[in-house]
Amino acid sequence: MLEARDLSIGYGKMPLGIGLSVTVRPGEILCLLGPNGCGKTTLFRTLLGLLPQLGGSVLLNGQPISAMTRARIAQAIAYVPQAHAPPFPFEALEVVLMGRTARLGAFAQPGKTDRAAARDALRRLGIQDLAHRDYSRLSGGQRQLVLIARALAQQAALIVMDEPTASLDFGNQAQVLAQIETLTRSATAEGHGVILSTHDPDQAFALNARVLLMHRGGVLADGPAADVLTEANLSTVYGLPVTVETTSSGRRICLPSLRQSAPTMTSEALTMA
């Protein structure tokens, strides 16, 4: 379990968020939502131990993450970035095999067990046919699934995803979200939990996720998507009228007004996002 208590985040001595509390349990999807500049990326980096907290604590299975080695953190938390462009034309299997680094010694080479874990991760996502394809020539959705497979091969209890559907087309977004839902639905016994950030509240509804709605460096609401993503909360956070509708299939969607523009973000705020 990953837990942040009364956390203050920021760079240097400048706080971007104060008094944040976050808990992620096995088999759970936690979705971070909020406008540019609210501190989502900074929170991510602090939870991963890449940035020191300015106050409070981050605990991994009850232990301070600040006291752990990078190898120990990597064995417990896997990271899936927005995009990945390798400098060399690796095969997809080789990219997935990189996830085994956290389980190897400083000068050790991947063995049969590591290759089996990499192939199993590809199989679980249904992309084993991509194993020997050039990763750099795959579609955006295929590359994102390969990165998720790399995280699975890492055999970490938690998977952190930074806008996993960014820049993907409509079909690939649906494919990636479906795989995220499948992983967490079967993850309870295996101990996986997922933290993801997104700019699309509809994705939180689709995943039936728990939502941490951030606003001005703090948490406006934390709870099930149906309780947190209300018209009032979304209108407050994004600065324009938002309507939440229910489709004939029972799925909720968010409809922002196009007649009133949101307040212009400053260049500094856009940089912090």
Q: Amino acid letter at 215?
A: H
Give the pLDDT score at 185.
64
Q: Which region among 43-47, 92-96, 184-188, 232-236 has the lowest average model confidence (pLDDT)?
A: 184-188
Supply the DSSP string of 44-92, one letter for each residue: HHHHTTSS--SEEEEEETTEEGGGS-HHHHHHHEEEE-S----SS--BH
As a dihedral over the C-alpha atoms of residue 70, residue 21, residue 42, residue 143, rounded to 10 degrees, the angle is 70
What is the tally of structural domains in the chain?
A: 1
Type and span of the H or E element at 100: none
Q: Which region among 142-146, 243-247, 257-261, 263-267 has the lowest average model confidence (pLDDT)?
A: 263-267
CB atoms within 10 A of CB 159: 25
Give the mean pLDDT of 223-250. Answer: 94
DSSP lists the bridge partners of residue 210 as 30, 224
Give the mean pLDDT of 49-57. Answer: 90
Q: Return the structure tokens found at 166.
A: 């960014």
Whose CA is closest to 114, among 93, 130, 133? 93
Give the pLDDT score at 270.
39
- In this predicted structure, the answer to whether residue 268 has a pLDDT above a threshold of 70 is no
Residues 194, 73: Cα–Cα separation, whole Å: 15
Q: Is 51 exposed, middle or buried (0-12, 13-18, 19+ CB in 10 A)?
A: middle
Give the pLDDT score at 106.
63
Give the pLDDT score at 247.
92
Type and span of the H or E element at 102: none
- Domain span holding position 58: 2-272
- In this predicted structure, the answer to whether residue 240 has a pLDDT above a threshold of 70 is yes
- In this predicted structure, the answer to whether residue 114 has a pLDDT above a threshold of 90 is yes
DSSP lists the bridge partners of residue 256 as 242
Write down the number of H helices and E strands in the chain: 10, 12
User: Could you report how far apart the first and last alpha carbons of the chain are, in Å?
Assistant: 26
Give the mean pLDDT of 130-158. Answer: 91
**Average pLDDT value for the chain:** 86
More confident residue, 84 or 62: 62
Share of the chain above pLDDT 70, in %: 89
- In this predicted structure, the answer to whether residue 191 has a pLDDT above a threshold of 70 is no
CATH of the domain at 244: 3.40.50.300
Answer yes or no: are the C-beta atoms of 220 and 35 closer than 8 Å: no
Answer yes or no: are the C-beta atoms of 58 and 4 closer than 8 Å: yes
- In this predicted structure, the answer to whether residue 221 has a pLDDT above a threshold of 90 is yes
Residues 13, 1: Cα–Cα separation, whole Å: 28
Give the pLDDT score at 187.
44
Give the mean pLDDT of 122-134. Answer: 93
